[in-house]
């Protein structure tokens, strides 16, 4: 039976660690199963560069055939529903459906109705399981553990499915997680910390983009003021702990949360995260299709 990957909450910590080990094994040149004959369909109803195309690279590395759905030229333009669109690809007999949609928990209406494995490529402001897995893999490679590490997630937390997924799973894995940024981006119930303390005391400083497309605003700040107060730049990056790393799910908005010099500085793992995304998605696809 195909297994969905909708949220990390649905996995045990052992399953999370198994996915990370499998991804690392692929990265280290371990045996890659051949899924020739299997078909993946990537249905991205929201914009995506990294998640969509690294899933595609992962599918191709596994030998799968890939269909990339383009909502702009689909029957969504003829008032077809999301459900009927997904059901069409399932009826064609594809094996895996990777779906991103702006509706939180869009998958609820699909559960039990679809034979293909569904892998969540992001639902609204809710979950982004494969992004969290690649973040965790990047941290594990750096520190060799999770327990006892401190992570600061900084920026537009309230609109970020990356922040929400990471906040929960990282705490479950024994990390201390704080969020930081303007009050109006902070979620109720989350542990907040002022920016200066967050960047100077954390092992992982994870920056987030402001999600203007979800109606986020800068409040009364200019771009420059935001950058000055909540962004990492050549000046304040020197205050990070010696072995701290900088992460960002990207896309980045240079000049807001991060300056040009910091993007590819020694501490930045932003492009390594993207590399890890391919291996994590290979592991997730192999799990979902029950192949080891």
Confirm or reject binding of residue 269 to ligand NCD (CB under 6 A).
no
Q: Smallest gap, in angstroms, from Cβ of residue 209 to ligand NCD?
A: 4
Q: Please, what is the minimum distance in Å from the beta carbon of residue 102 to ligand NCD?
A: 10
> CB 147 → ligand NCD: shortest distance, Å?
26
Toward ligand NCD, which CB reaches closer, 35 or 135? Answer: 135
Site string for ligand NCD, 31-60 (x = CB under 6 A): -------------------xx---------
Of 122 and 181, which has the nearer Cβ to ligand NCD? Answer: 122
CB within 8 Å of 217: residues ≥ 6 apart: none
Contact mark string toward ligand NCD, 105..124, x via CB under 6 A:
-----------------x--
CB of 106 to ligand NCD, least distance (A): 14
Q: Closest approach of Cβ 212 to ligand NCD, in Å? A: 10
Q: HEC states along the chain?
A: CCCCECCHHHCCHHHHHHHHHHHHHHHCCCCCCCCCCCEEEEEECCCCCHHHHHHHHHHHHCCCEEEEECHHHCHHHHCCCHHHHHHHHHHHCCCEEEEEECCCCHHHHCCCCCCCEEEEEEECCCECHHHHHHHHHHHHHHHCCCCCCEEEEECCCCCCHHHHHHHHHHHHCCCEEEEECCHHHCCCCCCECCHHHHHHHCCEEEECCCCHHHCCCCCCCCHHHHHHHHCECCCHHHHCCCCCEEECCCCCCECCCECHHHHCCCCECHHHHHHHHHHHHHHHHHHHCCCC
Position 249 contacts ligand NCD (CB under 6 A): yes
23 binds ligand NCD per the rule CB under 6 A: no
Q: Does 161 bind ligand NCD (CB under 6 A)?
A: yes
Which of 131, 165, 202, 268 lies at the binding interface for ligand NCD (CB under 6 A)? 131
Binding test (CB under 6 A) with ligand NCD, winner from 209, 269, 281, 287: 209
CB of 30 to ligand NCD, least distance (A): 25
Nearer Cβ to ligand NCD (38/226):
226
């Amino acid at each position: 039976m195909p297994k969905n990957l909708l949220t990390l909450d649905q996995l045990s910590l052992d399953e999370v660690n198994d996915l990370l080990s499998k991804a690392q094994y692929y990265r280290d040149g371990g045996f890659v199963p051949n899924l020739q004959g299997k078909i993946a369909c990537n249905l991205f109803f929201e914009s995506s560069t990294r998640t969509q195309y690294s899933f595609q690279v992962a599918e191709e590395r596994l030998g799968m055939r890939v269909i990339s759905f383009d909502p702009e030229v689909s029957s969504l333009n003829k008032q077809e529903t999301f459900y009927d669109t997904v059901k069409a690809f399932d009826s064609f007999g594809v094996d895996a459906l990777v779906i991103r949609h702006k509706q939180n928990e869009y998958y609820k209406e699909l559960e039990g109705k679809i034979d293909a494995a569904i892998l969540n490529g992001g639902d609204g402001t809710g979950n982004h399981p494969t992004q969290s897995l690649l973040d965790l893999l990047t941290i594990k490679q750096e520190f060799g553990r999770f327990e006892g590490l401190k992570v600061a997630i900084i920026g537009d937390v309230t609109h970020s499915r990356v922040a929400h997924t990471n906040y929960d799973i990282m705490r479950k894995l024994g990390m201390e997680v704080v969020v930081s940024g303007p009050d109006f981006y902070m979620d109720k119930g989350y542990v907040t910390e002022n920016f200066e303390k967050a960047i100077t005391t954390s092992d992982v400083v994870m920056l987030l983009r402001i999600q203007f497309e979800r109606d986020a605003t800068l409040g009364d700040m200019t771009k420059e003021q935001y950058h000055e107060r909540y962004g990492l730049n050549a000046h304040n990056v020197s205050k990070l702990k010696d072995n701290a790393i900088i992460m960002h799910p990207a896309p980045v908005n240079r000049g807001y949360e991060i300056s040009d010099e910091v993007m590819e500085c020694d501490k930045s793992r932003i492009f390594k995260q993207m590399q890890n995304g391919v291996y994590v998605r290979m592991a997730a696809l192999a799990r979902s299709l029950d192949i080891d």
